[in-house]
Chains A and B, each alone.
Chain A
Amino acid sequence: MAVLLIVLLPFIGVLLAVASGRLGRRAAAVAAAGPTLVAFALLMSLAPSVLAGEVLVLSRPWVPALGLTFGLRVDGLGFLFALLILGIGLLVIQYAYFYMSRGDPLWRFFSYLMLFMGAMLGVVLSENVLLMALFWEVTSLSSFLLIGYLSDRSAARRGARMALTITGLGGFCLFAGLVILGQIVGSYELTDILASGELIVGHDWYLPMLILVLIGAFTKSAQFPFHFWLPNAMTAPTPVSAYLHSATMVKAGVFLLARLHPALSGGDAWFYLVGGVGMATMFFAAYVAFFRHDLKALLAYSTISHLGLITALFGFGTAGAAVVGIFHIMNHAAFKASLFMTAGIIDHQTGTRDIRILGNLRRAMPYTMVLALLGSAAMAGIPFLNGFLSKELFLKETLTAPMMAGTPWLLPTVATVGAIFSMAYSVRLVHGVFFEPGQGKMPKEGHDPSAGMLLPVAILVAICVVVGVAPQWTAAPLLAAAAQSVVVGELPAYSLTLWHGFTMELLMSAIAIGGGIFVYTQRARLYDLAHRIWPGLTGGAVFEKTVELVVGAGARLTATLENGSLQRYLVLLLVMALAAGALPFIQYGFSSGPQELTPTNPVAIAVWALLVVAALATVLTHRNRITAIICLSVVGLLISIVFVYLSAPDLALTQLSVEVVTILLLLLALFVLPKTAPRESSRLRKGRDIAVAALGGLGMGAISWAVMTRPQDSISDFFLEHATYPVGGGTNVVNVILVDFRGFDTFGEVAVLVLAAFGIYTMLRYANHTFVEGVPDTADDRYPVVLVSASRPLLALILLMSIFIFLRGHYLPGGGFIGGLVASVALIMQYLASGIDWANERMRLNFRVVAVIGFLIAMVAGSVAFVMDLPFLTMALLGMDVPLVGESDFVMTLLFDLGIGLAVVGSTMTILSELSHMQEVEPYDEAQRAKESDPWKP
């Protein structure tokens, strides 16, 4: 239970931070720190059992069919990471409170930060790998928000986009890899996966799965060649860099390597891929870091380098190396977070992060200097600091790495050269900022910041020192517990002591320190050299170029397919449908069924003949648009007679109300459009269109004929049987299907309707009015008194009719949809008669809100079933009696229907009244229109 709370508390913190919006900075900080502190305490309460080697697993079913459970797991590794996330999280919150500028809306920052914290805890504490992938995505998203936090800067937006693209792409690959992994093992639970190492490594799908999972890990941990997003993410506020981009999020990749180490590390591919990429990254990034002049860029590359080191350690695939990898994760988190915070302090106090400009700060910022010195020394691997221990163990592992029998010198050499540069940039960080005179003038005269800002750094540095001096009494138990989850079987022998005697690795360390200092003394010459031969090919540039190419190709493809001609889309759509529909005819032929034909009568024949004539007339008169609309009304009217005749009263009522609303819509639209259509189709095209239309119509007719002349068991029998009591609870089968059997469809359709209304509202509100052609006003009397006085009683009558139709819906033809449409017509009638201003004065309703409320009511009515532990939108099966109201299912369906009705009224009114706003005419300008009609103009 505590596990669940630990993961959920940060998400509660998100809500608290948002809620604290108006209460100021301090409230926001408390809202973030409170849940973190509680979660930290809860985690500590688990410490005794975890350190004793227990694995706590909590699992709740979620989507069993997919193998997805809400499973959480606390073992040594998860505990260590949770400790880092929550502990450093607390320090970062404290630091951010002082760091972020006073004018900043801190609640927004903290809500993003807490979102990240929760997601990251989810990643490290997941038992189910699918759940882990889910949290993994959330870390990418929240990291995007945090990197782009200063969204008015284009560099921040670019960095955020780059990070999201790379890590998002990696997350996608990871997800695919995890699905394959789950398929291999037959379970998505970590417990099962970790126990199936041999099965996985021997499987045919091992290599593809491994590559996909590794892409996920490498993108997140900024390994070569995906490293470039991390330096670009340095546009984030420094607390974010300290937290996400050094201590936690970038560690998710190496966490994944550690987590899956027992299951995946058995194969040769693992060693070459993980070890190779890790070593390359470690070496390359250490080299680049030395040449960065921006403090944060230097630290970013240094982080990449150290992550490479950790990756390489896991890549070696031996138990000993894995233990060292975990140890370095702990140490790196401590010293790198402290260094990022120090960089932030320097930036905050002096106004610049450029090492060339900064200088001689040792007198002005003595405390900062001491902390930076110790942090950098830990980073460089100087004895008596934690970095030394893990770095020396790393060097030792390179000497004994497996599968390198042919070239035993290769890994140690690469590692030592990398360590030389690591030493060099560490020296540069301290010497360049605090001792060497700067080359320019700093924007501000720096001085030490307040104690509140220094405190988190001091705590981290203290950890570095204490662990460095006395590792056995501090880090050892935690390391042992964490290592146990990464290693199968007994833990290998390792010694966490300062002095191992005169060994090879000590010599390598000494070379690294001496060499680093030498490289630093030669820096002027090296910068000069690097300036001349630095390659122009950088990861960032390749990325931008690729994105440009992909976007360009996408735009070209879209432009080819979507050229703005509606006629063309229609033809393509119809031809596709024709092809699909023609296939059965070609395969099986066409024949009439055995069913006897029903007799018809002369009236029906006459009506159908009229229908045909009216439909043809609509097509023939289409160029004179107002006549075409009138013909279209006739078609709608005749169709509703047909519905009545064929005993489909529901359809007839719906058709009638839709018909009149459509006419209103067309008339409103016609106002802003040309009144006659230009003659633009060639003879050939007309022929093609006629052929397509005729084939389509005849095809549909043939299909209907073939179906209806055959006896069949249609699904309607089922509905007819079950619609009435006790299952459906109504007697109008159409309505019961709409609100109950197919309630989810109806719910979705209403959602679409409301969304469409909002889309139309937004588009028209900001529409370009230069198209408006208008119609000359020839009326003497704007509001004829006959019309006005006729419309008032009609309002009451139509509304009454609407309520009647609505209420009766469950038992006889009617329901929310028709009722809503009829009510809309009643309201529009008033607009027509007396104008929109008059009507709005008397009807103070925001119809957009009405639409949303309607949708929410429908949702609530559907959700009531959850209380009874039944699926969404179960209506009639509730079957309880509510005093005074009657059966509850009736109440629920009525409520659902009411929601639908309100949504229909709201949407219809929103669309129609927004269209009528278009008519605040501006003069028609042919030249302007020609310019605007380019569909690709942004």
Chain B
Amino acid sequence: MISVAINLGLAVMCLCLILNLIRLLKGPSTPDRILALDTMYINTVALILLFGLRLERAIFFEAALLIAMMGFVGTVALANYLLHGDIIE
């Protein structure tokens, strides 16, 4: 049962990533693209966690944690750039 759920989850996450990328490419504004990128980070976290569950490997969780943190920093930097230009003031 759980494996079916995981497979289903993986499929959905893949679909999400595809849709995110389409939004990112279409835009039309830069905030749209940044938002799409941030969503991709979050969906990647989910994807990797599901993978970890499926393969029963704890090490995947760490990668997910790192993506979550790094994604946040990246998004903040991009947003800062849009607002001020200089991301570090």
A631 interface contact, C-beta 8 A: yes
Known: A828-B73, A832-B88. A637 touches B44 (CB 8 A): yes
The 8 Å CB contact of A825, one of B34, B73, B82, is B73
Secondary structure of the A contact surface, majority rule: helix
Query: Which residue of chain B has the shortest Cβ distance to A620 in the bound complex?
Result: B25
Residues of A within 8 A of B44 (CB): 637, 641
Residues of A within 8 A of B81 (CB): 626, 667, 670-671, 775
Nearest-Cβ distance from residue B47 to partner chain A, whole angstroms: 7
Q: Which residues of chain A in 768-824 are interfacial with respect to chain B, using CB atoms and an 8 Å cutoff?
A: 774-779, 782, 787, 791, 794, 797-798, 801, 805, 812-813, 822
Measured in the bound complex, the distance between the Cα atoms of B71 and A640 in whole Å is 12
B56 interface contact, C-beta 8 A: no
Q: Are B67 and A656 in contact (CB under 8 A)?
A: yes
Residues of B within 8 A of A426 (CB): none
Residues of B within 8 A of A835 (CB): 88-89
Query: Which residue of chain A has the shortest Cβ distance to B34 in the bound complex?
Result: A630
The 8 Å CB contact of B70, one of A610, A631, A660, A774, is A660
B78 interface contact, C-beta 8 A: yes
Nearest-Cβ distance from residue B7 to partner chain A, whole angstroms: 9
Measured in the bound complex, the distance between the Cα atoms of B85 and A667 in whole Å is 8
Nearest-Cβ distance from residue B59 to partner chain A, whole angstroms: 5
A599 interface contact, C-beta 8 A: no
Measured in the bound complex, the distance between the Cα atoms of B81 and A665 in whole Å is 12
Q: Are A916 and B88 in contact (CB under 8 A)?
A: yes
Known: A630-B33, A775-B81, A801-B69. A653 touches B63 (CB 8 A): yes
Q: Are B21 and A794 in contact (CB under 8 A)?
A: no
Q: Which residues of chain B in 52-89 are interfacial with respect to chain A, using CB atoms and an 8 Å cutoff?
A: 59-60, 62-63, 65-67, 69-74, 76-78, 80-89
Measured in the bound complex, the distance between the Cα atoms of B27 and A663 in whole Å is 19
Interface centre among B34, B73, B81, B82 (most CB of A within 10 A): B73
Residues of A within 8 A of B83 (CB): 777-779
Query: Which residue of chain B has the shortest Cβ distance to A834 in the bound complex?
Result: B89
Q: Are B70 and A627 in contact (CB under 8 A)?
A: no
Q: Are A794 and B72 in contact (CB under 8 A)?
A: yes
Q: Which residues of chain A in 598-624 are interfacial with respect to chain B, using CB atoms and an 8 Å cutoff?
A: 602-603, 606-607, 610, 613-614, 617
Q: Which residues of chain B in 1-50 are interfacial with respect to chain A, using CB atoms and an 8 Å cutoff?
A: 10-11, 14, 17-18, 21, 24-25, 27, 30, 33-34, 37, 40-41, 44, 47-48
Residues of A within 8 A of B34 (CB): 630
Known: A626-B30, A779-B83. A634 touches B69 (CB 8 A): no
Q: Are B88 and A828 in contact (CB under 8 A)?
A: yes
The 8 Å CB contact of B40, one of A606, A634, A774, is A634
Measured in the bound complex, the distance between the Cα atoms of B44 and A674 in whole Å is 32
Give the interface size class of chain B.
35 or more
Query: Which residue of chain B has the shortest Cβ distance to A798 in the bound complex?
Result: B69
Nearest-Cβ distance from residue B83 to partner chain A, whole angstroms: 4
Q: Are A916 and B86 in contact (CB under 8 A)?
A: yes
Residues of B within 8 A of A645 (CB): 51
Nearest-Cβ distance from residue A812 to partner chain B, whole angstroms: 7
Residues of A within 8 A of B78 (CB): 626, 629-630, 663, 667
Q: Are B76 and A787 in contact (CB under 8 A)?
A: yes
The 8 Å CB contact of B74, one of A607, A660, A777, A833, is A660
Measured in the bound complex, the distance between the Cα atoms of B27 and A617 in whole Å is 12
Measured in the bound complex, the distance between the Cα atoms of B78 and A833 in whole Å is 12
A321 interface contact, C-beta 8 A: no
The 8 Å CB contact of A797, one of B51, B69, B70, B80, is B69
Measured in the bound complex, the distance between the Cα atoms of B41 and A805 in whole Å is 21
Residues of A within 8 A of B89 (CB): 782, 835-837, 916, 919
A657 interface contact, C-beta 8 A: yes
Measured in the bound complex, the distance between the Cα atoms of B82 and A424 in whole Å is 85
The 8 Å CB contact of A836, one of B24, B51, B88, is B88
Known: A637-B44, A659-B70. A644 touches B30 (CB 8 A): no
Q: Are A657 and B86 in contact (CB under 8 A)?
A: no
Known: A602-B14, A829-B73. A610 touches B85 (CB 8 A): no
Q: Are B88 and A912 in contact (CB under 8 A)?
A: yes
Residues of A within 8 A of B62 (CB): 649, 653, 805, 813
Measured in the bound complex, the distance between the Cα atoms of B82 and A32 in whole Å is 64
Measured in the bound complex, the distance between the Cα atoms of B50 and A604 in whole Å is 13
Residues of B within 8 A of A633 (CB): 37, 74
Q: Are A644 and B48 in contact (CB under 8 A)?
A: yes
Interface centre among B10, B30, B63 (most CB of A within 10 A): B63
Q: Are A832 and B73 in contact (CB under 8 A)?
A: yes
Q: Are B17 and A606 in contact (CB under 8 A)?
A: yes
Nearest-Cβ distance from residue B89 to partner chain A, whole angstroms: 4
Measured in the bound complex, the distance between the Cα atoms of B30 and A633 in whole Å is 14
Known: A667-B78, A671-B81, A777-B83. A627 touches B33 (CB 8 A): yes
Q: Which residues of chain A in 829-883 are interfacial with respect to chain B, using CB atoms and an 8 Å cutoff?
A: 829, 831-833, 835-837
Residues of A within 8 A of B88 (CB): 668, 828, 831-832, 835-836, 912-913, 916, 919
Known: A630-B24, A631-B24, A777-B85. A794 touches B74 (CB 8 A): no
Measured in the bound complex, the distance between the Cα atoms of B44 and A281 in whole Å is 82
Known: A637-B41, A775-B86, A782-B84. A829 touches B63 (CB 8 A): no
Interface centre among A613, A667, A912, A916 (most CB of B within 10 A): A667
Q: Are A637 and B65 in contact (CB under 8 A)?
A: no
Known: A602-B14, A637-B67, A916-B86. A832 touches B30 (CB 8 A): no
Query: Which residue of chain A has the shortest Cβ distance to B50 in the bound complex?
Result: A603
Query: Which residue of chain B has the shortest Cβ distance to A791 in the bound complex?
Result: B76
Nearest-Cβ distance from residue A710 to partner chain B, whole angstroms: 27
The 8 Å CB contact of A610, one of B18, B48, B65, B86, is B18
Measured in the bound complex, the distance between the Cα atoms of B69 and A832 in whole Å is 14
Residues of B within 8 A of A919 (CB): 85-86, 88-89
Residues of A within 8 A of B37 (CB): 630, 633-634
Residues of A within 8 A of B63 (CB): 640, 644, 649, 652-653, 656
Residues of A within 8 A of B30 (CB): 626-627, 630
Residues of A within 8 A of B85 (CB): 671, 774-777, 919
Measured in the bound complex, the distance between the Cα atoms of B24 and A40 in whole Å is 81
Q: Are A607 and B17 in contact (CB under 8 A)?
A: yes
Known: A640-B63, A775-B84, A916-B86. A832 touches B21 (CB 8 A): no
Residues of A within 8 A of B60 (CB): 644, 649
Residues of B within 8 A of A695 (CB): none
Residues of A within 8 A of B72 (CB): 794
Residues of B within 8 A of A641 (CB): 44, 47-48
Nearest-Cβ distance from residue A223 to partner chain B, whole angstroms: 63
Q: Are A829 and B76 in contact (CB under 8 A)?
A: yes
Residues of B within 8 A of A476 (CB): none
Q: Are A637 and B40 in contact (CB under 8 A)?
A: yes
Query: Which residue of chain A has the shortest Cβ distance to B79 in the bound complex?
Result: A787
A664 interface contact, C-beta 8 A: yes
Q: Are B66 and A603 in contact (CB under 8 A)?
A: no
Residues of B within 8 A of A797 (CB): 69
Nearest-Cβ distance from residue B67 to partner chain A, whole angstroms: 6
Q: Are A614 and B51 in contact (CB under 8 A)?
A: no
Measured in the bound complex, the distance between the Cα atoms of B77 and A603 in whole Å is 30
Measured in the bound complex, the distance between the Cα atoms of B87 and A775 in whole Å is 11
The 8 Å CB contact of A602, one of B11, B47, B65, B69, is B11
Interface centre among A614, A787, A791, A832 (most CB of B within 10 A): A832
Measured in the bound complex, the distance between the Cα atoms of B86 and A778 in whole Å is 11
Residues of B within 8 A of A656 (CB): 63, 66-67, 70
* Interchain residue pairs with CB less than 8 A apart (12): A602-B11, A603-B14, A603-B51, A610-B18, A626-B81, A627-B27, A630-B33, A637-B71, A653-B66, A660-B71, A664-B73, A916-B89
Closest 4 CB pairs of A and B: A775-B85, A916-B88, A919-B86, A779-B83
New A-B pairs, 5, CB < 8 Å, besides A640-B63, A825-B70 = A630-B30, A637-B44, A637-B71, A653-B62, A812-B59
List the interface of chain B (C-beta within 8 A of A).
Answer: 10-11, 14, 17-18, 21, 24-25, 27, 30, 33-34, 37, 40-41, 44, 47-48, 51, 59-60, 62-63, 65-67, 69-74, 76-78, 80-89
